[in-house]
Each structure stands twice: as structure tokens, then as C-alpha cells.
Structure 1
Amino acid sequence: MEAVTDSTAAVPDHGRVMVRSEFAPLRTVAVARSQFRAPDEMSDSEASFLAPEVLPILERMLGRDHGDVYPDRQRLWESERENLCSVFERHGVEVLRPRMLTDAEKAAGGSNGYANFFVRDPWFTIGDIVIEGNLRLPHRRREVLPSRDLLTARALEGRCSYLALPQPAVPDGAPGDLGAGPFLEGGDVLVYEKRVFVGNSGLASNAMGIRWLEKLLTPLGYTVETVRLAPNFLHLDCALGLIREGLLVACPDALLDGLPAALRGWERIEISERDGVGLGTNGLPISPEVYVTDPAFRHIGDRIAAHGVTVEYVDFAITRGFGGSFRCTTQPLRRE
């Protein structure tokens, strides 16, 4: 999908990569595709962060592509992403799309299946640095590949640094063992100027991955802070969202040590554990003045709007069933 911009929007600078914060005005964003084949088998821990009503749907999908099992649901899923793109384009945001998986990439997944459905996690942007991470779940470990053409054009050729984590260790075959990592997933990484908060629930990013990021960023003047999460929350953006300077949405039940110290003076919109598991913090600021969330969370959106923020609503019910929402579906290359 090509971007549609209005006459008031800034002219895109295709060489510019910069993400200053979670809520700085969004200029360029990648929006995920909707491809998923479930593994032949999934352990309880691999599905522990999903809502209970999704599990029967997932069980029917084991070893099969979502579109083959649920063609009507697949079309709805794709339309959710296209509706989000329309909102971005209406606000003058340049939209990029990863390509679809090739047959060879699908086959390479073997019994682990494949995924090309949440572009936030396999790579992410901090300042003028684009980083390819490592995903813990086996069916997602090749998810960066459909973004490589995009990354070649915008990161490798752009005015930024582009690097990747070391390859993760091979699991030893013990039940439930997914290897030592390092694991670092974009859903765990929240950027606030020179502060970077990284979640660790035991399900995604781990201490080795966070240590790698700290070693990279500290000499550049960044502070990297680990945020411990409850074990039923996959990523930090499922527990905490920065809406604008001084305003955040958070699920207290997910944050084992409370809010990071730097955010404790902010006004906060607190939500229940049920809404947190349902991804009530995973809305997306387009700017400090505009925020996107799901109509299922209108009760949260109304509280955000009371602070003078315009709230856009896009139905994301199918997407949320896979354990991610608006932030998970998007990856900014330019926020400033």
C-alpha cells in the first residue's frame, strides 16, 4: 500500500530514521501483514498470554494456516489492518508494508509453523538505530525476513545505524526449553527520549538480551531500565502505554515493581487486569494529540479523551485474539 498524504503533511524524507519517543508525531510506519500458521503443537506456556476464548480457535489451527481454516475470519483480519492504514493515511503518515512470506520461508518453518503478523517484535527503532531482535517463540523466529526489503531500502540505505542481536542459542531439547537467547522483542521496548524501558516477563525478552541492549546504548547516552512483568503478560506494551508527555495508561497488576521511577509523577489511567490481558494498554499515539484504540476499550478511550486527546477507534478484535493490538501491528521508522 502506498502512502497518501495531504497538503498539510510534512514531505517524507526517505533517508531519515528517528524515533524520539512513543508519542512523538508519527511520520513513517510499517504495518504488519496477516499471515500465521500455528505450530503442530503448542505448550501451555506458549499460549499462556492469550485470552481463554481464543484457545479453541487456536487448537483447531494447530499445524494449519489461519486463512485455510477460517477464510472469513482471515478476510476480517486483513480488513482490520487496512482500516488502520486508512487512519494513518488520513493523518498524513507514510505507510510501509512488509512483503508476504515466500513458499520457501513457509516451508522452512516445518512443524514450528510461521508468522508474519506483528511487525513490532522482530525489529525495532530507538533514536536513529534500527535493531533486528530475536524472538523466543520458534514459529516467529523468521518473522523479520518479510521486512528485509523494507529494511534494506530504509535502514541499510538510510541515515541511521542498522544492526542485529547475536544468533540465539539452540534449545537442548528439554520439554518447554526454547534456548538461552539472547532474546529481545520490540513489544518489550518503550522509548522515552534517552530512556529505554524493557519488559521481562519470562515469556519474551530475557536478561541476556537486555544486557546486550544496555551495552549498545549506554555509551550513546541512553539509560536502559528493566521492568519486571507478571508471567501472564507477554510484553511491556501489554502493561504500559505512553500517551503523551505526563500521561500514561497502565495495568498495575502487570507491573511487579510498579511504574518505572521516571514515570511515577505522570498522570495515569489505570486499568484492570482483565483489560490489560485484553490489550487495553496497546493503543497507539499518532501524535501527542491523537490516539488509536479499539472500540472494546471505549471506557478507556473516554478517560484518555478527557485529557484533551482525540481518540480514533478501529475494530481490532481478530488481531487482538492473536495476542497483540495496535502497537504490536506497527513499527515506526520516524517519530519526531
Structure 2
Amino acid sequence: MLELNIQNETATLKAVVLGTAVSNGPQPTLEEAYDPKSVQHILKGTYPKEEDMVAEMEAVAKVLEKYNVKVFRPKVIEDYNQIFSRDIAFVIEDKLIKANILPDREKEYEAIKHVINQIDSNKIITLPEACHIEGGDVMPWNDYIFIGTYTGKDYSDFITARTNKEAVEEIRTLFPNKKVISFELRKSNTDPKENALHLDCCFQPIGKDKAIIHKNGFLIDEEYNWLINFFGKENVFEIDENEMYHMNSNIFSISEDVIISEKNFTRLNTWLRNHGFTVEEVPYAEIAKQEGLLRCSTLPLIRE
């Protein structure tokens, strides 16, 4: 059996589900695209090719194996995008919460059944239907759970609005011992530089007490300021809209000292190294075109 344990974003990783780009399927039509960035690349003719994405994901698998992490992969569904395993489920403490995702992504959860079957069924939680939530919006951070949300009346107008207030309340009820703090995210169906698809597109804690943040991803200044005060200005790496667009906050921590990052994130990677982190650089620029990066493609199951 897998003894799930996730208390935060950075404790030493022991087991993870890494998505797969194998048999990714044809390029989506404009109607099928879920986010403004994919739309942009479809229109420009620069949508990523399967073989490039497979190579990028294998580079990540190699780094994880180097650090003795047990890596699970989804069963391959023919012609289907299974890269972003963070969307389909997430772990807090010893519980796996199945995300209420867009209905046509249900197959992705089925494709990790071989992993789910190794978890005590009492520890698997399916949220009520009214709760919409995806793993990219959920960050356990010791005594806290940070959640990205959008509660505007026009929620249903945004295909990019993923986690609603009902889900935030449900997480509060499930984890009464945690302080659940929610953050309103900026949403746009058309402009990727004005759209924070998930919380991890504009924020992520790293190390013991540091964070990467993009101010404009937050709709409410007080909420952004709360994070700055919480981590301390000197511990925060602020990314600009271009870096947010290229997903600089969506790196992935193997431990408090080791981070997997995209090799083109020059300014970020330099800052990380200057602050004592080991940075494992991988190519991930093709996958980034679908508005997801390293954190989105991983579903951590066990951290020390």
C-alpha cells in the first residue's frame, strides 16, 4: 500500500505520478483548447509536437530517478492529452482528493487506477458535484492550505476559472486543523498574460521560507500583500508578466534544496542558485505552450 503523506510543497519527495505525452493526439481545434495560450500557438502554427513533449517529460523522469523518487506514469490512452496529472487529483496529508475536472477529462483519472488501487480506499475523497477544484490551485504549506479561486458572478463565463468557493469551503471542512487561505486569481479567456489559470501559474513556495510570485496574477492587492508579508519581501522572487507567461512560477521542488526548473528561466535559476538551491535544468518550453509546466505535470504522493 502507498502511505500518502504531503504536508507541504518542498519536503523530500519519495513518490510521484508524472504525466505522459505519449500518444498525445492531434493538435486540438480552437474550440477544443482550454486556455488562451494554447489558442495562441494553434493560430501561430507553433503548437508543440508530440515527440518534443515526450523528450521533455523523459528529461524530468531522469532527474526524478536520479534523486531516487518512485515515479508512476499513467496508462497511455490513445490520442489523448495526459500531461497534466496535477489537474486530476492532489494529496493533502494522507488523503487523495479527486478533482472535479472538466467531464471529458474523467478518462485521465481512470488511467492512474493502478496507482489509486494501492491507496487505502478510506483515504480517497470525491468532492460533492458543486465543488470545482484542480490541483494546480491547491498548495499545502505546513499549517496552511493556500487555494487559488475565482468567485466573480461571471465564473461560468470563464473556461479558465477552475476552482470555486464551494470547493474552498469543502477543503476547510475536510481539514479543520489547517488554516485555509484563498486567493482571487485574474482570469482571461483571451489574453494569456492576463490569465492565471491556477494559483501555481503566479505563485509557489520554495525551500523552507521562500516563494516565487507574480503580482498581477492576483485580483486583490491585499491578498498579494498578505503573501509578501507572510514570506517576507527579501524571501520573494517577483516575476514579471513575460516570466509569468513562460510559467516561471511553475517549477517543481524535489526537496527543500533541489528544484527542477526550465533551462531558459535564466533570471530565476540564477536567483535560486544564489540562494543556495541546486537547480536541475530541463527543457520544457514546448509543454509550456499549453499553459502548464513542471508542477502541473506532477502529482506528488509521498514526501518525507
Shift, 1:182, TM fit: 2.2
TM-score of the superposition, structure 2-length normalised?
0.85
Which protein is bigger by CA-based radius of gyration? 1
Q: Secondary structure at the match of 2:132?
A: coil
Partner of 2:126: 164
Unaligned runs of 5+ in 1: 1-13, 61-69, 107-113, 168-180
C-alpha separation between the residues in 2 aligned to 1:33 and 1:281? 21
C-alpha separation between the residues in 1 aligned to 2:295 and 2:69? 15
Partner of 1:140: 105
1:330 to 286, 298, 302: 298
Shift, 1:115, TM fit: 3.2
Partner of 1:205: 163
CA deviation map 1:232-267 (0-9, x unaligned): 110000010111121111111112234373662421
C-alpha spacing 1:40/1:319, structure 2 compared with 1 (3 Å): closer
TM-score of the superposition, structure 1-length normalised?
0.77
* 1:273 pairs with 2:237: no
1:33 to 17, 20, 28: 20
Unaligned runs of 5+ in 2: 156-160, 188-194
State the one-letter code of the partner of 1:249: I
Partner of 2:133: 184
Partner of 1:236: 199
CA deviation map 1:123-180 (0-9, x unaligned): 00001110101124x5434321211221112x236xx71111224xxxxxxxxxxxxx
C-alpha spacing 1:139/1:41, structure 2 compared with 1 (3 Å): farther
Partner of 1:264: 229
How many residues align? The count is: 281
C-alpha spacing 1:57/1:152, structure 2 compared with 1 (3 Å): farther
C-alpha spacing 1:260/1:89, structure 2 compared with 1 (3 Å): farther
C-alpha separation between the residues in 1 aligned to 2:92 and 2:50? 32
What are the within-5 Å matches in structure 2 for residues 1-336 of structure 1?
14-34=1-21, 35-36=24-25, 42=31, 46-50=34-38, 52-57=40-45, 73-101=49-77, 114-136=80-102, 138-153=103-118, 155-156=119-120, 161-167=123-129, 181-201=130-150, 202=155, 203-218=161-176, 221-231=177-187, 232-257=195-220, 258-259=223-224, 261=226, 264-266=229-231, 267-336=235-304
Kindly report the root-mean-square deviation, in angstroms, between the aligned alpha carbons of the 2 structures.
2.3
C-alpha spacing 1:207/1:39, structure 2 compared with 1 (3 Å): farther
